[in-house]
Structure 1
Amino acid sequence: MSQYFTIHPENPQPRLIQQAVHHVMQGGVLVYPTDSGYAIGCRIGDKNAMERICRIREIDKDHHFTLMCRDLSELSIYARVDNTAFRLLKNNTPGHYTFILKATKEVPKRLLNPKRKTIGIRVSDDPITMALLEALGEPLMSTSLILGNNEFAESDPFEIRERLEHQVDVIVDGDHRGEAPTTVVDLADDTVKVTRVGSGDTKPFDDLS
């Protein structure tokens, strides 16, 4: 049975945030709200938790995992960012985007796309997401909580609890969220390519692809 924390979406309670992070630090799988629906995550280095997420999401090793980072400086530890990419990231983070970038050696190999050695990177300004990351002190290995054959991220914390309370360790209820996952922008090959249109506006990238 998972722990269920109802956390204020604008003013997260520090005590509850710390309790949620404690479970993550102990190897737990976390469902949490973002600015683009709910996500599911764990610590970067936790192989067992990652494998549990793969089973819940029904995804394989070719899936692009995402590191949810606090800011650009943390992002640059885990991804290779040239001048062009840095300008795009600076202008569009935090935001409703996942950027695909070449990974640094700080990223465990099991999280990388095996062919391209890339990783997804996100920076969100959602108050709960930011509070969790600040308390954890490192990025969350994360992916949108899209279940089964659905196209959209889960948005209702009560429905999530009914479906996953025996499969995850912590569910953070931050109220209802939008269903559209992030817009995915691939910057890994010195080009700009929008590979998934989601909640992030594609206009900043229209003339660059």
Structure 2
Amino acid sequence: MPAEFIKLYPENPEIKKIEKIVSVLRDGGIIIYPTDTVYGLGCNIHNLRAIERIALIKGIKPKKHNFSFICYDLSNISEYTRALSTPVFKVMKKALPGPYTFILEANNSVPKILNSNKKTVGIRVPDHSIPRLLVKELGSPILTTSIHDEDEVVEYSTDPELIYEKYRDLVDVVIDGGYGNNVASTVLDCTGQQIEVVREGLGSVDELF
């Protein structure tokens, strides 16, 4: 059965549609959704079968891939990460919600969730109402990975209708939240003594330090 194509307006997402998508996530479904950067492929972090399906779609091994968690805000990050230093917390508070991914030391619950020996986890709090509302309604983060395009010029797919055509038989819901960005998040590694910029993307680094 092809995926449902659901239109949502970021300024005022319909709560009934949000609830419908969340019930798909609770049932182990996979969704494609907009963020403040590129469109993402996501599922409930507590459904291992859904995580394995995402890995299959992307052609990766779930135990080795660096997945990120989309969180509603900073309040429940401690459920998945080791204690944050004050400088890291200050930078995160300044940056989020925003187009940044913070690589943090994972606590013991992350390897169990991913059925791996992962020592780190990426944390995202996008500045976008749709993914944050989904997470809030779900009551736990969404595991996320970006949708890449095979095009040599455009690295990320931005048109939700084209994304739907490509993924309609692989996922359960594609959310049309308007055109996406084709620049990914800025990735900051916070696991060492200093915060290290792994990838400079949409989020400005100069504003943080």
1:149 & 1:55 partners in 2: Cα distance? 20
User: What do the CA deviations read for 1:34-84 (whole angstroms, capped 9, x no partner)?
Assistant: 000100111112111111111222233322110000111112221121212
- Residue 145 of structure 2 corresponds to 143
The question of 1:201 aligning with 2:204 is answered: yes
User: What do the CA deviations read for 1:101-129 (whole angstroms, capped 9, x no partner)?
Assistant: 00112224463884x60000011120111
Matched position secondary structure for 2:104: strand
2:81 & 2:186 partners in 1: Cα distance? 18
Matched position secondary structure for 2:188: strand
Superposed, 1:73-84 pairs within 5 Å as 73-80=75-82, 81-84=84-87
Superposed, 1:84-163 pairs within 5 Å as 84-109=87-112, 111=114, 114=117, 117-148=119-150, 152-163=155-166
Q: Which structure 1 segments of 5+ residues have no match?
A: none
Matched position secondary structure for 2:184: coil
2:150 & 2:45 partners in 1: Cα distance? 24
Is the contact made by 2:37 and 2:182 (CA closer than 8 Å) also made in structure 1?
Answer: yes
TM-score scaled by structure 2? 0.91
Is the contact made by 1:34 and 1:126 (CA closer than 8 Å) also made in structure 2?
Answer: yes
Q: Which structure 2 segments of 5+ residues have no match?
A: none
2:151 & 2:5 partners in 1: Cα distance? 25
Matched position secondary structure for 1:194: strand
- Residue 16 of structure 1 corresponds to 17
1:194 & 1:63 partners in 2: Cα distance? 19
Is the contact made by 1:24 and 1:43 (CA closer than 8 Å) also made in structure 2?
Answer: yes
Counterpart selection for 1:174 from 171, 174, 177: 177
Q: What letter matches 1:196 in structure 2? A: R
Is the contact made by 2:37 and 2:180 (CA closer than 8 Å) also made in structure 1?
Answer: yes
CA RMSD of aligned residues (A): 1.9
Is the contact made by 2:183 and 2:202 (CA closer than 8 Å) also made in structure 1?
Answer: yes
Q: What letter matches 1:160 in structure 2? A: I
2:132 & 2:191 partners in 1: Cα distance? 26
Q: How far does residue 161 in structure 1 lie from its aligned partner after superposition? A: 0.5
Q: What letter matches 1:177 in structure 2? A: G
> What is the number of equivalent residue pairs in this alignment?
205
Q: CA 1:171–1:64 in 2, change beyond 3 Å: closer, same or farther? A: same
Q: What letter matches 2:24 in structure 1? A: H
The question of 1:52 aligning with 2:53 is answered: yes
Q: What letter matches 2:175 in structure 1? A: V
Identity %: 37
The question of 1:183 aligning with 2:186 is answered: yes
Matched position secondary structure for 1:72: coil
1:149 & 1:66 partners in 2: Cα distance? 24
Q: How far does residue 152 in structure 1 lie from its aligned partner after superposition? A: 2.9
Q: What letter matches 2:169 in structure 1? A: H
